[in-house]
Structure 1
Amino acid sequence: MTAPAAPIARTVTTPPSDSGRPPLRRRRKPSVHRALSRALIAIIVIVQVYPLAWLFLTSLRDEHDFATGDPFALPKSLTWENYARAFETGDLGRNILNSFIVTMGANILIVLLGMMAAYAIQVLGFRLSRLVRGLFLIGIIVPVQIALVPLFIDYSTVNLLDTYQSMIIPLAGFSLPMSVYLFSSFFEYIPRETYEAASLDGAGPYRIFGLITLPLSVNTVVTVVLVNSIFIWNDFIFANTFVLSEELKTIPLGLQNYIGAMGKVDWTATFAAVCITITPLLLVFLVLNKAMIQGLESGATKG
């Protein structure tokens, strides 16, 4: 018997390149769109950061140097006297406390009322729920100026002028439409099976709201609080209309104390006061920035 012939190995030859060298990998050229996007982002960052940097440097600048030199030049020397003079010129500590009380009180009302309204509209549902939600959305376009005179008359009738409530109530009311929209849009992401399983286990609507809906809405709550806090902290219209005494002045009203006789303004002390007042918001925003972005993505992309 003869042994079977071994298989013949086939060799595949690749044709050499025209130059006799192996082909080189082409380098990817950077995309023009990517370069333009990065340039645009850099411009936006500069535009946003430059005013804050200039404000902080000016708050450390000598008063005579700022008055006689170029206001946009770098300071020749740094001093902390402007911050001490900021507290001496105006009642800055009381203004910050009043703004904090108003901001916290308004945010508590906004979160509680906004969540409960959105829960009733989106989760529980009722016959005219879509109409009610549409009415809330219409409230977004209503300007706050049209309510000043009616509110002033009503507050004077019920003796609410020159109180914290006179600022908290309208600030919370005009912030509710956007908050209801964000909460109701987020509640669409929660599966209906979750609520059905909880109801089968014997949980009522209030228990479901406290044990299921509220813990899942933490990011949206943070978003609503931060967005409204910026508006409430910097509010001037309601505070200037309903506050009559020095003891209840908030930060925007308190900054008027730095305007001296004949319109003379202590600019360096004013800039120091502004730096002090915006620092809490910046710190809170930097700490909760990630949660705010997640809340906006989950609450504003659907609905």
Structure 2
Amino acid sequence: MTTYAPAKAPARAGGRPHKPRRPSRRPPSPARLASRVLVGALVVVQVYPLVWLFLTSLRTERDFAGGNPFALPTSLTFDNYARAFGHGHLGRNILNSLIVTMGANVLIVLCGMMGAYALQVLGFRFSRVVRALFLVGIVVPVQIALVPLFVDYTRVGLLDTYPSMILPLAGFALPMSVYLFSSFFEYIPREVYEAASLDGAGPYRIFARITLPMSVNTVVTVVMVNSIFIWNDFIFANTFVLSEDLKTIPLGLQNYIGAMGKTDWTATFAAVCVTVTPLLLIFLVLNRAMIYGLERGASKG
């Protein structure tokens, strides 16, 4: 076999090889520069409150009350976190919020995915009317359901329980999840379902083996969108929860308001930092799951 030597770079006058010139970097255009400035400003607006919250949770009570609340702390202390756990039941509040958030998300994902699968994939008579009714549910305010739900929960014995918070949260979030799943199922080729049907798979097997694995990113999106509102829910928990043992985080933070409206602000900020941590961990896990779903889809493609 004949081998060919790599071509040498042309030599300059003096015996030195000629090095290829690197392309000169052009200055960014005004539009790109403006977009970078805008993105940087948005990052500052989003990150600054979290940084300020954490720094304030480490300030002494006298430093916060007597100085500038937006200035850097003159001294750091962890006594605020000790008072936060002493004044309230943070551990129990976080556990209750986790139970409500996970339970509501399970119902939202399962019911929303199965409803969208029936509307978009299987299809039936008047399916468009049913989809329109789901979309109408997006504009229904939650306040109109408080009194009827309170009366019904009292009659059936669901008042002051976890389902009393999980069911309405899942019900009011269901229309948006059905819409998101329907939009995703619309882009799945019909040939995939037809090939599975020819192989003898029924609708339940197609849903479990094809639709569910392909919907990982949509599931993560639905969970991320709804987790914020469920975690911060106050109106349902304040209406249907009567005992101290079932209070979620928004209700538990009321324990830091003392007599005559006096509030221990530094302990409150420390409690908020503690209660935000599980939500940030959940989002990190969901973000990793979304990246895994994208990589898996790209490798299959």
2:101 is aligned to 103
Equivalent positions of 1:199-278 (< 5 A) are 199-278=197-276
- TM-score normalised over the length of structure 1: 0.86
| Shift of residue 138, structure 1, vs aligned partner | 1.1
| In structure 1, C-alpha distance between the alignment counterparts of 2:81 and 2:248, rounded to whole Å | 18
2:141 is aligned to 143
* Kept after mapping to 1: 8 A contact 2:104/2:169: yes
Equivalent positions of 1:27-38 (< 5 A) are 28-38=26-36
Q: Which of 39, 44, 69 is equivalent to 2:42?
A: 44
1:91 is aligned to 89
CA-to-partner distance for each residue in 1:214-267, whole Å, 9 max, x for gaps? 011111111111111111010000000011111110000000000011111111
| In structure 2, C-alpha distance between the alignment counterparts of 1:291 and 1:185, rounded to whole Å | 20
| Shift of residue 28, structure 1, vs aligned partner | 4.1
Equivalent positions of 1:61-210 (< 5 A) are 61-210=59-208
Structure 1 residues 227 and 149, CA gap change in structure 2 (3 angstroms): same
- State the AA in 2 paired with 1:266: D
* Kept after mapping to 1: 8 A contact 2:104/2:166: yes
CA-to-partner distance for each residue in 1:127-185, whole Å, 9 max, x for gaps? 11111111111111111111111111111111211111110100000000110011111
- TM-score normalised over the length of structure 2: 0.86
- State the AA in 2 paired with 1:248: L
- State the AA in 1 paired with 2:169: L
1:300 is aligned to none
| CA radius of gyration, larger in | 1
| In structure 2, C-alpha distance between the alignment counterparts of 1:38 and 1:291, rounded to whole Å | 28
| In structure 1, C-alpha distance between the alignment counterparts of 2:26 and 2:61, rounded to whole Å | 55
- State the AA in 2 paired with 1:52: L
Q: Quote the sequence identity (%).
A: 80
- State the AA in 2 paired with 1:236: F
| In structure 2, C-alpha distance between the alignment counterparts of 1:29 and 1:164, rounded to whole Å | 58
| In structure 2, C-alpha distance between the alignment counterparts of 1:276 and 1:193, rounded to whole Å | 49
Q: How many residues align?
A: 272
| Shift of residue 290, structure 1, vs aligned partner | 6.4
CA-to-partner distance for each residue in 1:57-79, whole Å, 9 max, x for gaps? 00111111111111111011111
- The gaps in structure 2 that reach 5 residues or longer are 1-22, 294-301
2:19 is aligned to none
